[in-house]
A and B are shown apart, each in its own frame.
Chain A
Amino acid sequence: MRALPLLLLLALPTLARADDLDAAAVEARVRQVARDLAPLVVEVEALGGLDERFDAPETEEEAREGILTKAGFKQAHGPTTGVILSSDGLIATTTFALHREPRHLIVTLHDGRSFVARLLGRDEARALVILKIDAKDLPVPRAAPPAEVVPGRFAVALGRGLGGRSPGVSLGIVSAVGRVGGRALQSSAAISPANYGGPLAGLDGSVLGLLVPLALDGGMASVDLYDSGIGFALPLADVLAIAPRLARGEVLRPGVLGVSPDLTAKDGVRLASVAAGSPAAAAGLREGDLLLTIDGEPVTTPWELRRALARRHAGDEVTLEVRRGAEARTVKARLAAKEGE
Chain B
Amino acid sequence: MRRAGLSFDAEDTQRSHRAPSASSAPPPRALRPISLLTLLLLLLPAARADDAWPLPQAAERAFPSVVKVYGAGGFQGVPAYGTGVIVDERGFVLTAWSIALRTEALKVVTHDGRRLRATLWRSDPGLGAALLRLEPPQGGLPSLQPLRLADSTGLAPGDAVFTIGNPFGIIYGDERPAVAWGVVTAIGSLRAGGVDVARLPERLERVIVTDIPGNPGSQGGPLLTRDGRLVGIVGRLVESRATNTIVNHALPAADLVEFVRGGVAAERPIPEPPRVAPRARAGAAVESGLRLQRVHLARSPMAYVEAVVRGSPAEAAGVRPDDLVFRLGERTIRSCRDFDEALAAHRPGDTVRLVLKRGDAMREVTLTLAAGGP
Contact = CB atoms under 8 A, between A and B. Distances in A.
Interface stretch (B4-12, B167-175, B264-272): B4-12
A299 B197 CA distance: 55
Interface in B313-335: 324, 326-327, 332, 334-335
Given A114-B362, A115-B362, A162-B193, A55 B245 contact: no
B138 to A, nearest CB: 45
B211 A190 contact: yes
A171 interface: yes
B361 to A, nearest CB: 6
A30 B244 CA distance: 26
B302 interface: yes
Interface size of A as a range: 35 or more
A39 B8 contact: no
Nearest to B331: A163
B243 A106 contact: no
B244 A74 contact: yes
A304 interface: no
B78 interface: no
Contacts of B337: 55-56
B29 to A, nearest CB: 8
A10 B38 contact: yes
B179 interface: no
Contacts of B160: 23, 26-27, 30
B20 interface: yes
Most B CB within 10 A of own CB, among A26, A54, A60, A74: A26
Contacts of B247: 162
A341 interface: no
Interface in B3-35: 3-6, 8-13, 15-22, 29, 31, 34
B18 A140 contact: yes
Contact of B5 (A4, A206, A247): A206
Contact of A78 (B52, B194, B327, B357): B194
B297 A169 contact: no
A7 B31 contact: yes
Contacts of A206: 4-5, 12, 16
Contacts of B86: none
Given A66-B241, A86-B21, A139-B1, A14 B158 contact: no
Contacts of A66: 241, 244
Interface stretch (B40-48, B90-98, B143-151, B278-286): B40-48
Contact of B242 (A27, A32, A76, A247): A76
Contact of A114 (B11, B19, B327): B327
B334 A77 contact: yes
Contacts of A137: 1
Nearest to B52: A22
B183 A161 contact: no
Contact of A223 (B22, B41, B244): B244
B355 to A, nearest CB: 5
Interface in A20-41: 20-27, 29-34, 36-37, 39-40
Interface string A73-105: 011111100000111101000000000000010
Contacts, number: 273
A205 B5 CA distance: 5
B156 interface: yes
A154 to B, nearest CB: 11
B73 interface: no
Interface size of B as a range: 35 or more
Contact of A106 (B29, B52, B357): B357
Given A14-B41, A86-B19, A169 B4 contact: no
Given A7-B31, A78-B243, A244-B20, A104 B158 contact: no
B310 interface: no
Contact of A164 (B5, B186, B211, B301): B186
Nearest to A141: B4
Most B CB within 10 A of own CB, among A104, A171, A244: A171
B362 A15 contact: no
B193 to A, nearest CB: 4
B184 interface: yes
Contacts of A161: 242-243
Contact of B20 (A22, A47, A85, A190): A85
Interface string B266-308: 0000000000000000000000000000000111111000000
Interface in B174-219: 182-186, 188-189, 192-194, 196, 199, 209, 211, 213
Contacts of B335: 55-56
Contact of B185 (A17, A57, A170): A170
A166 interface: yes
Contact of B326 (A11, A47, A142, A162): A47
Interface string A132-165: 0000011111100000000000001000011111
A162 B157 contact: no
Contacts of A45: 326, 332
B372 interface: no
Given A77-B242, A114-B355, A171-B158, A55 B211 contact: no
B12 A142 contact: yes
B44 A25 contact: yes
A203 to B, nearest CB: 9
7 contacts: A14-B9, A54-B299, A76-B244, A162-B186, A163-B242, A205-B5, A244-B20
Interface of A: 3-4, 7-8, 10-11, 13-15, 17, 20-27, 29-34, 36-37, 39-40, 45, 47-48, 51-58, 60, 63, 66, 74-79, 85-88, 90, 104, 106, 113-116, 137-142, 156, 161-171, 189-190, 192-194, 204-207, 223, 226-227, 240, 243-244, 247
